[in-house]
Amino acid sequence: MDPNKRPDDMQRINTPELAQAFIDEQVQAVREQAGDGKVLLALSGGVDSSVVAALLIKAIGKNLICVHVNHGLMRKGESEQVIDVFQNQMDANLVYVDATDRFLNLLDGVDEPEAKRKIIGGEFIRVFEEEARKVGDEVDFLAQGTIYPDILESQDGVKAHHNVGGLPEDLQFELVEPVKLLFKDEVREVGRALGLPEGMVERQPFPGPGLGVRCLGAITRDRLEALREADAIVREEMEAANVGAWQYFAVVPDVRATGVRDGVRAYEWPAIIRAINTVDVMTAEVPELDWALLKRMTDRITHEVPGICRVAYDLTPKPVGTVEWE
């Protein structure tokens, strides 16, 4: 039987009971696979890696070594939540690496989107590799948050899916991929049954390069910070208004526009609100947001975020636009 093929008769996990049964089964399987060995996991804070972390903590406790690399491009409160949930609440073996300076120094002055993505992806591998080498002698396994769509897509040749691909030859581990046959909704159901907070289980898809591709052009620390605050306001207000959009976030382009604060000329960045609905991410529509909500976000962002004096709502469907601006 192909271990990467979901059995035709496998039931969709859509109840707490089914999720619990899956957890019991996987806890057993992981214990059998890893024995007393140590397992390494790159814990981004996304749904998939968070669910794998919680599952493995349940199975092997401190034999799981979670490495959370903060590349400085996380959304507001995300790294803090990872520490709070996994270190404080679940008492995990968590290595927290604040690599903000490394990433931002490398990105200094780089404005081409593909170049930015390569730098962020490459440096992520290097930072994780350094941490892996520190514990490499005692570790035999690498856990990954691979899910079933990843496997289907890599079989289609659409993309190679290694959550931590690119590690050097001498750092190859045996893989532990407990959710690799699950679809996203099932991963969320399992996450809930594992006691992860709702905000983490329902976390929106977030690109690997993080805010790096939403702080358009050459990233600067002040504009990145403005983006992080504006993005937090967009998420907070959209959630409070219970807008069922698939994804929503802020973008801050590298351009300034005039404004007026207390009668004095301001020359600050605009923030763009991006929200989309999609079924398959191949196409996307822009939801018609309530006017009062748009006004409230505009008012809060222009008054609470230093450096931002304008807000616009992106009206572009995909195609012709893409979901992200870079």
Could you list the residues that contact a second copy (CB under 8 A)?
A: 113, 216-217, 253-255, 257-261, 266-267, 270, 272, 288, 291, 294-295, 297-298, 302-303, 309-322, 324-326
Residues in the chain: 326
79 is in an annotated binding site: no
Compare residues 118 and 133 and give the one whose CB is closer to a second copy. 118
Minimum distance between the CB of residue 124 and a second copy, rounded to whole angstroms? 21
- Residues in contact with 17: Cβ distance below 8 Å, sequence separation at least 6, in sequence order: none
48 is in an annotated binding site: yes
Compare residues 68 and 214 and give the one whose CB is closer to a second copy. 214
CA angle 58, 25, 10 (to 5 degrees): 135
- Alpha carbons within 13 angstroms on the beta-carbon side of residue 255 total 9
170 is in an annotated binding site: no
Residue 12: both structure tokens together:
């969709």
Furthest CA-CA distance within the chain: 72
CA angle 319, 325, 326 (to 5 degrees): 110
Q: For residue 163, what is the DSSP state?
A: T
50 is in an annotated binding site: yes
Minimum distance between the CB of residue 269 and a second copy, rounded to whole angstroms? 10
Minimum distance between the CB of residue 158 and a second copy, rounded to whole angstroms? 13
Residue 134: both structure tokens together:
């520190």
Compare residues 185 and 299 and give the one whose CB is closer to a second copy. 299
Minimum distance between the CB of residue 323 and a second copy, rounded to whole angstroms? 9
44 is in an annotated binding site: yes
| Binding-site residue positions for ATP | 44-50
Indicate the annotated binding residues: 44-50
